[in-house]
């Protein structure tokens, strides 16, 4: 069976599982349920089925299944696809681990290091972003007066809709060798020569943090805002020191917001394409450009798919890690 | 007293630093858009010019990219609202295990890196359009980008609409039915007007998200060009104040849009307040 | 007289839970009919079954003689006023009222004219173009009524429509509802857990408890002749005195109770005309209302139907004075009097002699221990 065949079968299985579950739930339901088309009418019912069906099947499930399937194939010219040479293989993953499709002698340090550095730095950036955003979110949610709050929200929205490339570009201007920041630091006599922010990837990390600051701030703000201010006052009256209040009163309550901000921030940082492209120094090896190169330098799509899946697995692991750590459900962090 | 003063000074300092970090780079970039040197710089100011803006508006490639971006943005926004709305409505009709399964599937696109979605879309649609014999029609960057972006923008739209839907009072729907409305009429007259604010804001968000998206787009766009991909290639080639000029335009538009949004919101709120005041007034007369 | 609504062996279950047990009921044309019962007894469920939102698990619902099985709420000649009113916030007052006409395809100018006329009837025409959020609670109430009447239903169903209003307004709306009903002449089915409301407005009342209709009848009838222990204590208040029937005769039953031998009328059976068959030796309960109990002055001889009790508490509530008595029943016994300024009130802790007229008391068979 070819890739598409596999994709259709797997998708059909997922659909079948869904309908089975629906039947099962209906069977267990307490109240008699009105049938779907009776409940919605033929017109709206058809719209709902088509809307969800097209969205899920054609833009999400089938492409994902296809990509997973493709990652277990060799790169072949179109004429040979589906032919006797089109066999399942782990070579693309072996390539990621060992740098060669045949030997397993030495690890593929170049890619592995890049992968783990990306994950590690993304986690660090997520934590730093949280540390920067938390006080502001708390201030806006619990302290600021209405007028101040409106102003702050307005100021926050402005950078939100500037895209990643322009943000990165702004940092390139600010942090270039003869850029504003170096001029400024030398001007006030703090440094003597220019600092190579770009070459040392400092600009990259700062810009990644900058890019996702707001994505961290908004969920945090929403979560902290939902807390009753009296609880915090009560803790303060009881003489709890400020760090204690934040750690044991505010943060547990804001847990879903924290988890959701961190998840978003991590995922977008690890999966960032634009920022590393614009700001990556010569020795930067963010993982996404490597994936990009599989596709548009080597034109080896199966291998690119395998690399993308590796990245996806890391993100899934992170999400599940966060859920496990916080004891939350998926529904609570995607509000 | 003194501790409090120090405290509030620290808070102010933090706020100033935060917003300096947030807005400073944009400000520096905006200033460089008005400075004459052809390498974007802020200091020294060699002369004030609007030249870079003029160049921007004569930049064929950028304008072309802008057009594609708008086409994609509008399509994504329409598609995603339609699909996200359907997704949210179906969610309210599911229970138990099937609901959990469904929820997992429909929010997953939000939790998957854009580049993965972009790649998946390209590889699948290359073969799928081949199978359908529609490759010449559908297998192009604009269509693929619309598809790739729709998968996760729809999830955003669904989450926004769902949040409002969960506060919906079902007896409204029942009241309309009871008065003789058919199901499609209930949908049109009661549910849609109720969801209107959420639909509008998700359409807006969908457009903006699509407009500024790069991660999924860069894979799915193939030979076509959107504003962001044009920008990306320019930035890769080198720095130019034209790019600063573009960023400045975007920032100004954002500010205007935000102010307008705020104004509309306040007006609506004032109307609501005056209605509530009126209600309280007649309440008082009634019980007097 | 024809039946507007007929329930035949209707039973409603949610999964394994039975919300309404098998019920037969006929509601007459043009009647103001109330369901009275405590929270959770199945009133709303029954109403939603009539309006078509809930399907009975078995049995038939007929409206105007036609079986409603398989007919959706939008095709039934009923209109429901929801507990929370469920007005449409995005429409103006007039649009709300005209909505039922709009979905029936009535032209714009005609439906506007009819909406205005209805609004006029509930004194709201000056507010026709406001949004509903600009109205007070009572005004919203009237919009809901006008909206329901606009579709000219055969039956108007009202689910505790006054519960959200404050006391004074509630009293006013009771009168108004009754007037509207008499003017339009259609059947009103009214749900409430407030007995004052039910007794005050209804032609007939069905008293419900735990998914069963315990008694149907005129308010006075139910008050005077409760047919079950539940009705006796839920509609008005009753003291319950358990005992064993000693003798029956002349429509009276003499009951041997812990308070001595007392007597009361033999209660009526389910059909409401014949008394139940009680005979000596049956376990029974005697019900007597607090306001039927009288104090016997200390110098008078102890009457035939009297008992002694110790005064435990006394509360003065303006026109009425309530006594809480300990008669040795294991639960307090209550008595109420019109407050009289002449004569001193008894001291708490004193022993009192009390009596009641046997014609004011009811004797029913002990429930749950029937043979
Ligand atoms: N859809 C449903 N699924 C399961 N149980 C239900 C459902 N609707 C009602 N019930 C149950 O049926 C019983 C009767 O409910 P109903 O709403 O009819 O009571 P009610 O008499 O109207 O009470 P209230 O005065 O509180 O409105 C309740 O125990 C309720 O929990
Ligand atoms: Mg109820």
Domain ranges of chain A: 3-70, 109-333
Give percent above pLDDT 70 in chain C.
Answer: 98
Q: pLDDT in tens for each of the 288 residues of chain B? A: 577 888 888 888 999 999 999 999 988 888 888 888 877 777 777 778 888 888 888 889 989 999 999 999 999 999 999 999 999 999 988 888 888 899 999 999 988 888 889 989 998 998 898 888 888 888 899 999 999 999 999 999 999 999 999 889 989 999 999 999 988 899 899 999 999 999 999 999 999 899 989 989 998 998 899 999 998 888 888 778 888 888 889 889 888 988 888 899 889 899 989 998 988 888 888 777
How confident is the model over C345-371, as a mean pLDDT? Answer: 80
Q: Pairing relation of β-strands C187-192 and C32-36?
A: parallel
Minimum Cα–Cα distance from C104: chain B residue: B180
Residues 9-48 of chain C whose Cβ lies under 8 A from any Cβ of chain A = 14-15, 17
Residue C80 backbone phi and psi in degrees, to 5: -115, 135
Assigned CATH class of C229-365: mainly beta
Among C96, C87, C234, smallest CA distance to C161 is for: C87
Q: Does the structural domain A109-333 have CATH classification 1.10.3720.10?
A: yes
ipTM of the complex: 0.88
Structure tokens at A5: 């065949």
Q: How far is the centre of ligand 2, averaged over its atoms, from the C-alpha of C198 (Å)? A: 15
Stretch among A83-92, A228-237, B57-66, B228-237 having the lowest mean pLDDT: A83-92
B283 CA: distance to closest CA in chain C (Å): 5
DSSP B69: H
Q: Decide: residue C356, CB within 10 A, 0-12 exposed, 13-18 middle, 19+ buried.
A: buried
Q: Which CATH architecture is the domain C3-224 placed in?
A: 3-Layer(aba) Sandwich (3.40)
Which residues form the pocket of ligand 1, taking CB atoms under 6 Å from any ligand atom?
A 30-31; C 14, 17, 19, 37, 39-45, 193
pLDDT at residue A82 greater than cutoff 90? no
Helices (H), strands (E): how many in chain C? 8, 20
C371 pLDDT band (50/70/90 cuts)?
very low
Q: Whole-model pTM?
A: 0.86
Structure tokens at A291: 């994936």
Q: Quick check: A136 and B15 CB within 8 A?
A: yes
Alpha-carbon gap, residue A74 to C221, rounded angstroms: 90
Helices (H), strands (E): how many in chain A? 17, 0
Residue A10 backbone phi and psi in degrees, to 5: -65, -40
C218 pLDDT band (50/70/90 cuts)?
very high
Give pLDDT tens digits for A124-169.
Answer: 999 999 999 999 999 998 888 888 888 888 888 888 888 888 888 8
Structure tokens at C287: 């019900």
pLDDT of residue C369: 46
Round the CA-based radius of gyration of chain A to a whole number and report it: 25
pLDDT at residue A10 greater than cutoff 50? yes
DSSP C283: E
Cα dihedral C177, C178, C179, C181, rounded to 10, equals 90
In chain C the first and final C-alpha atoms are separated, in Å, by 38
- ∠ CA B269-B270-B272, rounded to 5°: 65
Chains A and C form CB pairs within 8 A to the count of 7
Q: Return the higher-pLDDT residue of B108 and A35.
A: B108
Question: Where is C252: in which H helix or E strand?
Answer: strand C252-257
Domain ranges of chain B: 61-238
CB proximity list for A258: less than 8 A, separation 6 or greater: A130, A219, A220, A223, A251, A326
Numbered ranges of CATH 3.40.50.300 in chain C: 3-224
User: Rounded mean pLDDT of chain C?
Assistant: 88
pLDDT at residue A227 greater than cutoff 90? no
Neighbours of B284 (CB within 10 A): 10
Structure tokens at A99: 């740098």
Among C160, B87, B8, smallest CA distance to A50 is for: B87
3-state helix, strand, coil in chain C (%, to 5): 25, 35, 35
Numbered ranges of CATH 2.40.50.100 in chain C: 229-365
Give pLDDT tens digits for C114-161.
Answer: 999 999 988 888 988 999 988 988 889 899 999 999 999 999 999 998
Q: How far is the centre of ligand 1, averaged over its atoms, from the C-alpha of C43 (Å)? A: 8
In order, the DSSP letters of A213-282 are: HHHHHHHHHHHHHTS-HHHHHHHHHTT--HHHHIIIIIHHHTHHHHHHHHHHHHHHHHT--HHHHHH--T
| DSSP bridge pairs for A257 | none
Contact B143, B91 (CB under 8 A): no
C370 pLDDT band (50/70/90 cuts)?
very low
CATH ID of B61-238, from 2.40.30.170, 1.10.287.70, 1.10.10.10, 1.10.3720.10: 1.10.3720.10
pLDDT at residue A214 greater than cutoff 80? yes
Atom of ligand 1 at shortest distance to CA of C48? 18
Atom of ligand 1 at shortest distance to CA of C45? 18
Alpha-carbon gap, residue B110 to B89, rounded angstroms: 19
């Amino acid at each position: 069976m070819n890739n598409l065949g596999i994709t259709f079968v797997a998708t059909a299985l997922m659909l079948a599982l869904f309908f089975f579950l629906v039947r099962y739930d209906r069977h267990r339901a307490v109240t008699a349920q009105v049938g779907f088309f009776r409940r919605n009418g033929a017109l709206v019912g058809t719209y709902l089925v088509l809307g969800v069906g097209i969205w899920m099947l054609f833009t999400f499930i089938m492409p994902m299944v296809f990509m997973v399937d493709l990652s277990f194939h060799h790169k072949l010219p179109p004429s040979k696809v589906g032919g006797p040479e089109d066999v399942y293989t782990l070579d693309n993953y072996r390539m990621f681990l060992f740098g060669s499709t045949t030997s397993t002698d030495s690890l593929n340090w170049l890619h592995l290091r890049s992968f783990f550095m990306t994950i590690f730095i993304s986690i660090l950036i997520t934590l730093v972003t949280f540390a920067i955003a938390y006080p502001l979110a708390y201030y806006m949610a619990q302290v600021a007066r209405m007028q101040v709050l409106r102003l702050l929200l307005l100021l926050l929205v402005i950078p939100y809709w500037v895209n990643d490339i322009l943000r990165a570009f702004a940092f390139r201007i600010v942090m270039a060798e003869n850029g504003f920041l170096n001029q400024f630091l030398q001007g006030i006599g703090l440094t003597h020569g220019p600092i190579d922010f770009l070459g040392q990837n400092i600009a990259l990390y700062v810009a990644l943090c900058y890019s996702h600051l707001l994505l961290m701030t908004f969920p945090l703000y929403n979560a902290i805002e939902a807390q009753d201010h009296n609880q915090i006052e009560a803790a303060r009256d009881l003489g709890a020191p400020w760090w204690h209040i934040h750690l044991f009163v505010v943060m547990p309550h804001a847990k879903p917001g924290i988890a959701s901000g961190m998840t978003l921030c991590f995922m977008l940082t690890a999966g960032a394409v634009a920022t590393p492209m614009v700001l990556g120094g010569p020795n930067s090896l963010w993982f996404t450009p490597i994936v990009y190169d599989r596709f548009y330098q080597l034109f080896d799509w199966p291998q690119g798919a395998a690399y993308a899946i590796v990245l996806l697995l890391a993100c899934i692991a992170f999400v599940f890690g966060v859920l496990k750590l916080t004891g939350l459900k998926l529904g609570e962090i995607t509000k | 007293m003194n501790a409090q003063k120090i405290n509030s000074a620290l808070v102010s300092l933090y706020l100033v630093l935060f917003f300096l970090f947030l807005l400073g780079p944009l400000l520096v970039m905006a200033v460089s858009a008005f400075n004459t040197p052809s390498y974007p710089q802020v200091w020294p100011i060699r002369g004030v010019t609007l030249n870079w803006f003029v160049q921007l508006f004569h930049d064929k490639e950028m304008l072309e990219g802008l057009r594609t971006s708008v086409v994609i943005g509008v399509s994504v926004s329409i598609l995603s609202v339609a699909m996200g709305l359907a997704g949210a409505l179906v969610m309210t009709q599911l229970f138990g295990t099937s609901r959990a399964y469904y929820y997992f599937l429909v929010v997953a696109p939000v939790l998957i890196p854009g580049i993965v979605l972009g790649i998946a879309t390209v590889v699948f649609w290359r073969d799928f359009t081949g199978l359908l014999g529609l490759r010449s029609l559908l297998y192009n960057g604009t269509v693929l980008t619309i598809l790739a972006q729709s998968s996760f923008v729809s999830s955003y739209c669904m989450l926004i609409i769902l949040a409002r839907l969960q506060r919906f009072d079902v007896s409204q729907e029942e009241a309309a039915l009871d008065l003789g409305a058919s199901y499609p009429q209930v949908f049109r007259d009661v549910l849609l007007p109720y969801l209107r604010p959420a639909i509008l804001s998700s359409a807006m968000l969908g457009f903006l998200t699509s407009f500024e998206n790069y991660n999924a787009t860069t894979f799915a766009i193939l030979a076509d060009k959107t504003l962001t991909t044009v920008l990306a290639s320019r930035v890769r080639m080198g720095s130019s104040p034209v790019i600063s000029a573009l960023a400045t335009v975007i920032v100004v538009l954002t500010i205007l849009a935000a102010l307008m949004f705020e104004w509309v919101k306040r007006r609506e709120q004032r109307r609501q307040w005056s209605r509530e005041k009126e209600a309280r007034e007649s309440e008082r007369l009634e019980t007097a | 007289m024809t039946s507007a609504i007929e329930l035949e062996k209707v039973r409603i279950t949610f999964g394994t839970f039975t919300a309404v047990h098998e019920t037969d009921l006929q509601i007459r044309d043009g009647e103001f009919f109330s369901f009275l019962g405590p929270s959770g007894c199945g009133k709303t469920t029954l109403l939603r079954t009539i309006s078509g939102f809930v399907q009975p698990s078995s049995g038939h619902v007929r409206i105007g003689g036609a079986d409603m099985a398989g007919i959706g709420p939008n095709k039934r000649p009923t209109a429901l006023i929801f507990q929370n009113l469920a007005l449409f916030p995005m429409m103006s007052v007039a649009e709300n009222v005209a909505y039922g006409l709009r979905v029936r395809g009535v032209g714009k100018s005609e439906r506007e004219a009819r909406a205005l006329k209805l609004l006029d009837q509930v004194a709201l025409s000056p507010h026709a173009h406001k949004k509903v959020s600009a109205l007070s609670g009572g005004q919203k109430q009237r919009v809901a009524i006008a909206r329901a009447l606009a579709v000219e239903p055969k039956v108007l169903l009202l689910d505790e429509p006054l519960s959200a209003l404050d006391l004074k307004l509630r009293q006013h709306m009771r009168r108004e509802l009754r007037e509207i009903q008499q003017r339009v002449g259609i059947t009103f089915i009214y749900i409430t857990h407030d007995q004052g409301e039910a007794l005050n407005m209804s032609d007939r009342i069905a008293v419900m408890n735990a998914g069963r209709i315990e008694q149907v009848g005129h308010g006075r009838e139910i008050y005077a002749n409760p047919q079950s222990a539940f009705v006796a204590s839920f509609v008005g208040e009753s003291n319950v005195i358990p005992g064993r029937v000693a003798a029956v005769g002349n429509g009276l039953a003499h009951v041997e109770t812990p308070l001595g031998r007392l007597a009361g009328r033999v209660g009526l059976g389910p059909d409401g005309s014949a008394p139940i068959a009680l005979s000596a030796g049956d376990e029974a309960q005697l019900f007597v209302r607090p306001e039927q109990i009288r104090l016997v002055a200390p110098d008078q001889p102890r009457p035939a139907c009297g008992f002694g009790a110790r005064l435990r508490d006394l509360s003065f509530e303006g026109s009425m004075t309530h006594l809480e008595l300990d008669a040795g029943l294991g639960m307090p016994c209550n008595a109420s009097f019109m407050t009289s300024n002449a004569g001193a009130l008894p001291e708490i802790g004193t022993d009192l002699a009390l009596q009641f007229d046997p014609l004011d008391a009811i004797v029913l068979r002990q429930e749950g221990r029937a043979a």
